[in-house]
A and B are shown apart, each in its own frame.
Chain A
Amino acid sequence: MRIRTAGVVAVLGLALAASGCGGSDSDKPAAKESAKAAGGKLVIWADDKRAAALKPFADEFGKENGVTVEVQAVSKDLQTNFVTASQQGSGPDVVVGAHDWIGNMVQNGAIDPVQLAAEQKSAFNETAIKAVTFNGQLYGVPYATENVALLRNTALAPEAPKTIEELVQTGKKLKAQKKVQEILCLQAGQNGDAYHVYPLYASGGGYLFGTTANGDYDPKDLGVGKPESIAAFQKIAKLGEKGDGALKRSITGENSIATFTGKKCAFLVSGPWAVADAKKANIAYDISPVPGFAGGKEAAPFVGVQAFYVAAKGKNKALAQEFVTNYVTKPELAVALYRAEPRPPALTAAFDQVKSEDPDLAKWLEAGKNGQVLPAIPAMAAIWDPFGKAEAAVIGGADPAKTITAAGKTIAGQIK
């Protein structure tokens, strides 16, 4: 028995030693690098996808200037971890993320405004600059915009529908012919998805926040729970499970694109990230704006912007500002980031450069033309969850008036 125990210890020890060696081997190059560079160190946090795309450029920036640049990927809760780490002085110098984080990052003093010269500013798409402006200050340097649109399988539905009713009609016909299983792939899920359903909500006349005199969103004027929002959800209810069956809770973020690429539905409401899958599955597709209700308003999708921010408590702020204001604003970087991830660049020059090689880009921009900038005010955080759940309940057949009034009450209670 003792011998055996000793054996276990020995084998485990060996295994550990082996994996330990592996581990330390991989650590060594990194250690050498940082010892070699005489200059300062710049740490950038991004999510996994972007971190991978950014790495080569960060390395190049480092090499050009004799500094070390580390791009680190935070897999979950990037924004929360950034704010917490910043507070305690262990955060990065630069963070990359969606523009609707700005409100929260500012209220925690986690990011500083960026100062762009007028000619730098004018090189960007106007919507993108508007999105990263908060309380009259510019807080980030945008590099790409994104919004949802309607993708359709042109083999099944050659014509872009003008209204949602037309879409439902085509979908129903295809379903009756057993060509598809679902009328429309618009992800909702058990708890709803405010982002994807928003174009329909807007078309039905609903709004989230009113705007103040200077064009900012006003958290005191909440649109959810107002008569317009009830009217919008009554229209959405007609598309739901007890109505046309075009909106279903069983269509989720995990399966909506897969169902479209599997040719089980002819229409998909999604963003530029869905294109890669459609291409991979060899689907003949086209992109058009999300159609609105007949006789309703335009179906305005949310426009989101991805941006670079300078951390307020970074250890190397000057270098961070240098990177964000002078390097990120170059069209070459924007083009390269586009190649890593095809979404419309926010720099006009970069957009024009890639427009010719990718006809989709102009279509995405066209679909987002009527879009509304996703509100960056902290109060927006209170919207997502109750709004999504109300959507799911209405799709499932709950009474729109009662549901939306309750959601409005919950949201209002959470906004300070």
Chain B
Amino acid sequence: MTTPTAVPATGNRAGTARRRGNRWLTQVGWRHLVAVLGVLFSLFPIVFVLSAALNPLGTLSSTELVPTAGVTFGNFGELFQRTAFAHWFLNSLLIAGVASFASIFLSALAAYAFSRMRFRGRRVGLLSLLLIQMFPQFLAIVAIFLIFATVTDLWPGIGFNTPWGLLLLYMGGALGVNTWLMKGFFDTLPRELDESATMDGASHAQVFFRIMLPLVAPILAVTGLLAFIGTINEFLMANVFLTSTNSKTLAVGMYGMLQGNERNANFGIFAAATLLTAIPTVLVFQFLQRYIVSGLTAGAVKG
């Protein structure tokens, strides 16, 4: 080791001699403390949303953390009765699922090139990827209308009010922050891995699919989740794109609940919808969690 030589080698020895409980506290206990505090911070507003969802009056009265007017699931029932919530839910799952999957794939391809290959325009390309994201999207809407008005005329199957058109649009953002994220991770993988594979006669595609991708499974899972959440919450473009009731996504449909001349929206139903929206994300996270946590260590040993 070259860098950590400056670390003093004494000092900490004494700590091992301390009492067991004390040691638990310094090694594990603080972790629980931090985690519990974090959870409390996370949950505090969510409990409020939960209470609003269960409040039969369905109004927003911020002073009550615990519903005093009794608990009811009426808001959930009304949600499915009065709105096309089930449709929105499926649309969101479809769009977010396909979009996150496809964009992660496109992104990983590009990240591999940016990390492992050296070509002219590489740094400029990376920087432009970042810069282009900084342009305010609400201004670009006019241009998006322009493009998709033409597309809808020519190919109605991928035009306005179709999930496919929206998917295409989302693919435009596939190369972006996530590419950076993945490139960063590709950078941390030792080059010897793919170099030795190349020496063994593997093609660049084989190196990418067989060696690199499995090794970055945790980050694929993380970026996949991020893309999933990003798409399911995306509102600005989807609102322009999907106007017929049954084609809407959750974010668009839910925003509609707050709109109109109902200057006081039915917050109870909205809160119920908010809670249900979180479910797919939590499930996807639950499913991906083991890849996020254990992926690389398992892969590295075999690799």
Contacts and interface: CB of A to CB of B under 8 A. Distances in A.
A104 B262 CA distance: 23
B215 to A, nearest CB: 8
Interface in A24-46: 26-27, 30, 45
A49 B261 contact: yes
Contact of B264 (A12, A73, A88, A256): A256
A27 B163 CA distance: 10
Q: Which 10 residue pairs of A and B lie closest in terms of their CB atoms, listed nearest first?
A: A75-B256, A48-B256, A258-B59, A49-B260, A72-B243, A90-B149, A257-B264, A88-B149, A19-B94, A19-B93
A2 interface: yes
Contact of B240 (A1, A5, A81, A274): A81
12 contacts: A19-B90, A30-B246, A49-B262, A72-B243, A72-B244, A75-B239, A89-B153, A90-B148, A98-B261, A255-B60, A261-B59, A280-B57
Contact of B257 (A20, A48, A70, A256): A48
Interface in A161-185: none
Contacts of A90: 145, 148-149, 152, 160
Interface in B246-263: 246, 248, 252-253, 255-257, 259-263
A262 B295 CA distance: 53
B291 interface: yes
B213 interface: yes
Given A253-B264, A273-B263, A75 B253 contact: yes
A359 interface: no
Interface in B266-303: 267, 287, 291, 295, 298-299, 302
Contacts of A274: 264
A309 to B, nearest CB: 16
Interface in A242-280: 253-259, 261-262, 270-271, 273-274, 277, 280
Contacts of A295: none
A319 B259 CA distance: 28
Given A72-B161, A258-B267, A259-B61, 6 more contacts: A15-B97, A22-B94, A47-B256, A51-B245, A88-B149, A187-B263
Contacts, number: 143
A212 interface: no
A246 to B, nearest CB: 20
A215 interface: no
Interface residues of B, number: 57
Max count, chain B CB within 10 A of own CB: residue among A15, A30, A45, A306? A15
Contact of A8 (B142, B239, B291): B291
Nearest to A23: B94
Interface string A53-96: 00000000000000000111111110001001101111000000
Contacts of A146: 261
Contacts of A16: 94, 97-98, 101
A255 B244 contact: no
Interface of A: 1-2, 4-5, 8, 11-12, 15-16, 19-20, 22-23, 26-27, 30, 45, 47-52, 70-77, 81, 84-85, 87-90, 98, 146, 187, 253-259, 261-262, 270-271, 273-274, 277, 280-281, 306
Contacts of A87: 145
A103 B207 CA distance: 62
B141 A84 contact: yes
A172 B90 CA distance: 52
The majority secondary structure among interface residues of chain B is helix
A26 B59 contact: no
Contacts of B256: 47-48, 73, 75-76
Contacts of B246: 26-27, 30
Contact of B60 (A22, A89, A254): A254
Contacts of A49: 259-262
A84 B91 CA distance: 25
A259 B244 CA distance: 35
Contacts of A23: 90-91, 94, 163
A146 B261 CA distance: 10
Given A23-B163, A90-B149, A90-B152, A75 B101 contact: no
A1 B299 contact: yes
A254 B267 contact: yes
B142 A84 contact: yes
Interface in B72-104: 82, 87, 90-91, 93-94, 97-98, 101
A1 B296 CA distance: 9
A218 B13 CA distance: 85
Contacts of B98: 16, 20
A273 B259 CA distance: 12
A12 to B, nearest CB: 6
B90 A22 contact: yes
B214 interface: yes
A323 B108 CA distance: 52
A219 B56 CA distance: 47
A86 to B, nearest CB: 10
B262 A273 contact: yes
Interface in B12-62: 57-62
Give the most central of A75, A77, A146, A273: most B CB within 10 Å. Answer: A75
Contacts of A27: 246
